[in-house]
Amino acid sequence: MRGRIGVLVSALVAALVLPAAAYGSGWSSPQRVAPGYGFPLSADTNANGDSVVAYAAYDDGTSDDLVYKITVAYRKAGGPLQTHTLGASGGGEGFTVDVAMDNAGRMIVAWPVFEFFTSGVRFATYNPANDKWKAYDVPTIGAFDNHYSPSVAVSPGGKTVLAFGSSDGTDSVIRAQTADTPLGITDTGSFIALSLLSGATDTADLPQAAAGADGTLGVVWQQRDTFSGNTDGPAGSLLAPGVTANGPGGWTPARYAGATDQVGGDTEDVNATILPDGTLLTSYLRPGVGGGTVYVNTRPKPTAVVGDPPWIGAGTPVDGGCGFTSDLIGVGTDAAANVTIAYGCYNGSVTVLKTASAPAGGAFAAGTPVKPPTTQDQFFSQLDVAPDGTAVLSWSEEVNVGPVTAWAAVRAPGAAFGNVKQLAEGYSGPVVAHTGGLARAFTDTEVVPVDPNDGTDAVDEFVFDSGAPVVTVTAPATTVAIAPTHLKAAATDLGSTPGPITWDFGDGTTATGADVDHTFGAPGTYTVKASATDGSGNTGTGTAKVVVQRSGPPDSTPPGVKVVSKSAKVSDGTATIKVSCPKDEFACVGSLTVKLGKKAGARTVKFTIAGGATAKVTVKLSKAVLVALQNAKSVKVAVTATAKDAAGNTGTGKRNVVLKG
């Protein structure tokens, strides 16, 4: 799922009343991603739990420099952060950097560059197979030599779109290149012009790329008349796998979403997302009294029959009784097309962040505040929803006198937002949600009290993880009290790297470490436990039972395993054969094989027999044995029992056994 300024889904969905939040775990302590003056701008995750955040940092570490270093920090699920600096973005416009990744860990990052009154777009792709980045510059395209506002999107399977604005000084268009994977986007590929052209005073800007789980790609952008001040509104186009629409490059022709020629200011916060069925959705703030109204519209996925599907109607307003404000509009949808919307509502005193949810096909109920209204304005919200409905929301708060603070909240599937936490002093950044209650929030944290005109900020990562680490224990089934026993454990966690392994051997003693040797002081059956705690405070435990035999001198004698049965009766295709371990005081652990001549006479069966005991082992006979029994009253087979004792000595017992039908 993507973490960026929100995208909105259809308002055609009966009111859904949500219970209290179901997740009980908390947020981790911050991990410093980047020291110095840095700003997190975009983040993404995939189905494996890998995550990436892209950020811009002043080139010399101070806020007086207008050159930014564009950097990504990438984390394999549960592993450490790996950072890579991609390049520079001059002119103070690094804030449009965008990043996306697929389930294979392949990535694309795009950002603007400014040099000598011209602008350009640079992008880089990452191949995890060889751990290599490759950077490109979008070339001059005919007379179009100024490029700006890049946006990228990647489907789980890899379908990729890079979109950006492009100008020749007269006309301004939106261009896009697509590929089957992020690695297929290059500077020599075709950049298709998608947007409407209306003359010198018309501009196309701020594209938002989207990619659906089915591989459908979409782009929505803002179309405006810069001369009159009127805004034609958002426009958009779709590209569906296996469908060649009747627009440029197989895209659907660009169409306006909703009514056009909106007088009174620019349409703001244009966002895009793709529903599970390939439908393109857009949300936008239409200017008006009290801050305007948020509208949402949908454009169906093109098909071989309908290559140019129109937007559905003129758009649907959301929560018409609210005075909407910009920088607070976000949307997410889960795999069942259940929709969550976050938006800012001005209550006459301050702007309050609200959310509303609804199942597909119904209508949104009035939104509810994420936290009780205060005297602080809430702004800069970002929302992400995982396929299972897990959602994370971040925002900033500020009063006239006082610091800006970054906040976040998490929602379990079908629940209300909870686990509200002030993360840091500073600004909120992108968020990503992962199936199963895992979420990440990035902040622009103020780390030094400074003069308002200067400062030192840092990029921090906070992890919300409701799942405990998975701990696996490797231990012998049996051992002796006299000798040290070697035990191993490993802990894995999607959210963070688990802490050290701690052991409880069940005999009143403990230890720490992934590999330990322990000597049990007395015979008996012990439940050995190994535990580890992740960065969010969740503790996972793995267990193993160890049978400790009585102590004695070192054992170098092979176990006297014997096949006791001379004959066995066949019933329902099986036979039961007695096997003993008479000459070993410890257990025999092994397997029983049956041969009919050179052919297998039965499936191999594993067994465990206590020292000095006899056990019955049932085998499922082969077809060859059963056919032979149909032609004779009995069949002779060769039975072999091979076993090891607790000291690792191996013994073998053999006998011909007569099977009787």
Burial class (CB in 10 A: 0-12, 13-18, 19+), 512: exposed
pTM over cut 0.85: no
Give the pLDDT score at 5: 34
Q: What percent of the chain is modeled with pLDDT above 70? A: 83
Question: What tokens appear for 584 in the block?
Answer: 């070993």
**Local structure of 178: helix, strand or coil:** strand
- Per-residue pLDDT averaged across 549-561, rounded? 75
Strand ranges in 28-180 using DSSP code E only, listed in sequence order: 31-34, 38-45, 51-58, 68-75, 81-89, 98-101, 107-115, 118-127, 132-137, 146-154, 160-167, 172-179
Cα 277 to Cα 102, 212, 333: the distances in Å are 19, 8, 11
Give the pLDDT score at 74: 93
Does 19 have pLDDT greater than 50?
A: no
Does 345 have pLDDT greater than 90?
A: no
CB-CB contact of 459 with 38 (8 Å): yes
Which residue in 265, 367, 254, 259 sits closest to 302, CA to CA? 254
Q: Which of 256-265, 359-368, 626-635 has the lowest mean pLDDT?
A: 256-265
- Per-residue pLDDT averaged across 186-201, rounded? 77
CA terminus-to-terminus distance, the chain: 62
Task: Catalogue all structural domains in the chain, each as residue range(s) with its CATH number.
Answer: 5-465 (2.130.10.120), 470-549 (2.60.40.10), 562-660 (2.60.40.2550)
Averaged confidence pLDDT in the chain: 83
Which residues, listed in sequence order, are joined to residue 603 by a DSSP beta bridge?
Answer: none
List the helix and strand counts (H, then E) for the chain.
1, 49
Does 352 have pLDDT greater than 70?
A: yes
- pLDDT (tens digit per residue) in 484-533: 899 999 998 888 788 899 999 999 999 999 999 998 888 888 999 999 99
